[in-house]
Amino acid sequence: MTGFPPDWLALRAPFDGRARDKALARKFVAALPRSPLIVDLGAGTGANVLALAPLAGPGARFRLIDNDRALLEIAEARLAGSMPFEVVPGDLVRDIEGATADADGITASALMDLVSERWFDALAALAVSRHLPLFFTLTVDGRHELTPADGDDGRIFAAFARDQRRDKGFGLALGPDAPRHMQDRLRTLGARVSLADSDWKIGGDGRELMVAFIAGVAEAAVRAAPADAATSASWLARRQKQIDDGSLSLTVGHQDLLALW
């Protein structure tokens, strides 16, 4: 699995917090038994647990699983004394069944666009066999709205989408197809699926995130379409100038998904 640096997670955290769909989160915790064990896959620095804990109540227990021990150490420090939890370094690619063996509900944030179709389908089959509620937040869906628009936006983001589908450690990633695939697969298995937009809306208060995101898009576009490197560089320079003068705003589409049985 490909991890993310702590500074990127810190940059996105306030925008993730605003974007999360609170109604779906409340429905997820309402579907759990008393004193549930909630397993957070790809937990990183613990942001998803921090968002869910106030809704889940004092009886909830959390297990945070990630393959990045450094991120889990940050999560452990952030959560210490606030709720019952454990951090578990684990390989989600090889042992998803073991990681979730005694879970009452499974959640993940900003993970499902990184996994493969085969991996997700195995998780969905596991969930239906045990009737486990699933709550996946902040999954990218391929929508990008930049104001002002640029003539190269379509070309750049098409290449970006191709890069999002490369192997992130789970096999070829679902990328922006993840929300549709999850919905279709889970409904086929009999789940009641709810989706809600959880878009980043980035304006003047998000300059640092915008700089990092635009640079990352350009880098990924070059990786996917190296012959268009000059186009990507020109696009990046124009967008950076707009960020500098405060004229650029950006919406990045995400979806939250809840599945109940």
Half-sphere exposure of 203 (CA within 13 A, CB side): 0
Of the candidates 168, 180, 151, 152, which has an alpha carbon nearest to the alpha carbon of residue 257?
Answer: 180
Of the candidates 11, 102, 18, 10, which has an alpha carbon nearest to the alpha carbon of residue 65?
Answer: 102
Strands 249-260 vs 200-202: parallel, antiparallel or unpaired = antiparallel
The span from the CA of 144 to the CA of 80, in Å, is: 37
Token digits of residue 225: 């379409």
**In-domain check, residue 215:** no
Structural domains of the chain, count: 1
**In-domain check, residue 223:** no
pLDDT tens column, 157-186 = 999 999 999 999 999 999 999 999 999 999
**In-domain check, residue 150:** no
**In-domain check, residue 239:** no
pLDDT at 1: 46
Residue 158 phi, psi dihedral angles, 5° rounding: -65, -45
**In-domain check, residue 160:** no
Q: Is the dihedral angle over the CA atoms 143, 189, 111, 13 positive or is it negative?
A: positive
Q: What angle do CA 203, 49, 22 make, to 5 degrees?
A: 55
**In-domain check, residue 67:** yes
In the predicted model, residues of the chain with pLDDT beneath 50 are 1-2
**In-domain check, residue 79:** yes
Report the DSSP beta bridge partners of residue 23. Answer: none
Single-letter amino acid, residue 208: E
The pTM is what? 0.95
> What is the DSSP secondary structure assignment for residue 138, as one 8-state letter?
E
Q: Where are the beta strands (DSSP E) in 42-112?
A: 61-66, 85-89, 105-109
**In-domain check, residue 122:** yes
Alpha helices by DSSP H, 57-173: 69-79, 96-99, 117-130, 153-164
Looking at residue 83, which CATH number applies to its domain? 3.40.50.150
| Domain span including residue 92 | 6-142+170-202+253-260
